[in-house]
């Protein structure tokens, strides 16, 4: 429950209570849009225009994939050797230690590196969506993205920490929706809650990067203010954004599945070259290697395409749209995280 002694959440959004209209309650931004079509072909074209960043993401993921293959050899091979020559308990302990170590590396190092690369990519994509070109044309995409990430390093780091908080707020909002059955275009599927859950997760997966893009487009220097307004704008436009997410879910799942099938052949080739102790579980290793390779390609090329679709959809929807300050109060009522987001940040 919200504290009755606290001012309405909309005060932090507009600078004045709803009963005292101010110019801040109108359109919160002013920037042009060079691209408004959020179709798959347009998104694919923008990713191809920013291909250096897609290749950089692929390079990092590919390095991680080969690192995981080596880890599989060390983890399962070491566990098999210890089980055969010492004791099963030692093999189990070795496997657990390897799993924990890999999880730590993903959370603390790889995920952060990929976040920095993704923010540079978003900066380039935002320029292409808003202005149709990157910077003044005198610097490369990498140089522009690196400059933006460096200049907004505090904001980029804040965004990394905000990700879980933003998702928690949006998930609380999703639980209050009473029209989710309308998202499903196929009769008879209204009761399939798992499908609705996948669609809702698809929308929130990209929201932190969309908020960063919104901050860049409007020139916002305060990541907290931009994130609050981005969340409110998302809630105002949830229906069209979630309808776009339906096609994202369908297309991503289909493309990822066929990509995995195609990569089973090279994965099997890699498995044959592994040590004999590892090949004893060759079928499982082949599946895992194919999943890792497919994941690298999906993260580098497929997901950026769908990120662009959501970015364009968001920018086009909020163009010239006044912000509804009442949504801030509604979110504060339904989400403890949003109240912390508003009052905790601003009063700190």
Helix, coil or strand: residue 22? coil
What gap in Å lies between CA 64 and CA 345, rounded to an integer? 36
The runs of H, that is alpha helices, within 181-281 are 193-205, 207-218, 223-236, 238-272, 276-279
What gap in Å lies between CA 146 and CA 151, rounded to an integer? 8
Q: How far is CA 169 from the centre of its chain?
A: 15
What gap in Å lies between CA 201 and CA 20, rounded to an integer? 37
Domain for residue 13, yes or no? Answer: no
41: burial class by Cβ within 10 Å (0-12, 13-18, 19+)?
exposed
Please count the structural domains in the chain: 1
- What is the extent of the structural domain holding 305? 32-346
Domain for residue 17, yes or no? Answer: no
Domain for residue 274, yes or no? Answer: yes
Query: Which residues are registered as beta bridge partners of 322?
Result: 27
Are 166 and 212 contacting, i.e. CB atoms less than 8 angstroms apart? no
Domain for residue 21, yes or no? Answer: no
Question: CA neighbours within 13 Å on the CB side: how many for 54?
Answer: 21
Look up the pTM and report it: 0.77
Helix, coil or strand: residue 284? helix
* Residue 48 CB neighbours (<10 A): 11
Domain for residue 177, yes or no? Answer: yes
31 — phi, psi (to 5°)? -150, 150
Domain for residue 191, yes or no? Answer: yes
Domain for residue 139, yes or no? Answer: yes
Structure tokens, 200: 């809702």
Are 309 and 43 contacting, i.e. CB atoms less than 8 angstroms apart? yes
- Please report, in tens digits, the pLDDT of each residue of the chain (348 residues total): 445 555 455 555 544 333 333 334 556 677 888 999 888 899 999 999 998 888 888 888 888 877 777 777 777 666 666 666 676 666 677 677 777 766 666 667 777 888 889 999 999 999 999 988 887 767 788 888 888 888 888 878 877 777 777 777 777 777 776 555 555 555 554 455 566 677 777 777 788 888 889 989 888 777 777 788 888 888 888 888 888 888 888 888 888 888 888 888 777 777 666 666 555 555 677 777 788 788 888 888 888 998 999 999 999 998 888 887 777 777 777 767 776 666 554 433
Domain for residue 189, yes or no? Answer: yes
What gap in Å lies between CA 99 and CA 72, rounded to an integer? 10
């Amino acid at each position: 429950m919200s504290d009755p002694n606290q001012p309405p959440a909309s005060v932090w959004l507009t600078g004045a209570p709803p009963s005292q209209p101010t110019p801040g309650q109108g359109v919160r931004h002013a920037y042009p849009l060079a691209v408004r079509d959020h179709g798959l072909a347009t998104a694919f074209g923008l990713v191809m225009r920013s291909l250096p960043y897609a290749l950089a993401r692929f390079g990092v993921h590919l390095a991680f994939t080969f690192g995981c293959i080596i880890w599989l050899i060390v983890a399962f091979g070491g566990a098999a050797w210890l089980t055969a020559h010492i004791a099963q308990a030692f093999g189990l302990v070795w496997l657990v230690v390897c799993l924990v170590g890999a999880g730590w590396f993903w959370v603390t190092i790889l995920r952060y590196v990929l976040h920095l690369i993704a923010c540079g990519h978003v900066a380039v994509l935002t320029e292409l969506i808003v202005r149709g070109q990157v910077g003044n044309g005198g610097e490369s995409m990498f140089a522009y993205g690196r400059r933006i990430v460096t200049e907004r390093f505090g904001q980029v780091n804040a965004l990394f920490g905000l990700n879980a908080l933003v998702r928690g707020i949006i998930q609380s909002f999703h639980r209050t929706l009473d029209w989710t059955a309308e998202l499903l275009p196929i009769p008879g599927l209204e009761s399939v809650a798992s499908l609705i859950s996948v669609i809702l997760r698809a929308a929130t997966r990209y929201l932190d990067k969309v908020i960063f893009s919104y901050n860049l487009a409007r020139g916002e220097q305060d990541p907290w203010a931009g994130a609050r307004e981005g969340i409110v704008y998302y809630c105002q436009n949830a229906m069209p954004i979630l309808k776009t997410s339906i096609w994202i879910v369908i297309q991503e799942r289909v493309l990822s599945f066929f990509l995995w099938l195609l990569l089973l052949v090279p994965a099997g080739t890699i498995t044959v070259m592994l040590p004999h102790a590892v090949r004893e579980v060759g079928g499982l290793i082949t599946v895992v290697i194919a999943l890792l390779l497919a994941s690298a390609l999906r993260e580098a090329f497929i997901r950026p395409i769908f990120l662009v679709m959501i970015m364009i959809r968001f920018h086009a929807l909020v163009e010239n749209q006044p912000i509804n300050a009442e949504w801030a109060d509604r979110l504060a009522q339904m989400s403890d995280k949003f109240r912390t987001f508003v009052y905790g940040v601003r009063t700190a």
